[in-house]
Chains A and B, each alone.
Chain A
Amino acid sequence: AQRVTQPEKLLSVFKGAPVELKCNYSYSGSPELFWYVQYSRQRLQLLLRHISRESIKGFTADLNKGETSFHLKKPFAQEEDSAMYYCALSVGNQGGKLIFGQGTELSVKP
Chain B
Amino acid sequence: EVQLLESGGDSVQPGGSLRLSCAASGFSFRTYSMSWVRQAPGKGLEWVSGINEVGGPYYADSVKGRFFISRDTSSSMLYLEMNSLRAEDTAVYYCAKDYPNPVGIAPLFDYWGQGTLVTVSS
Partners in one complex: no
Contact surface of A with B, Cβ cutoff 8 Å: none
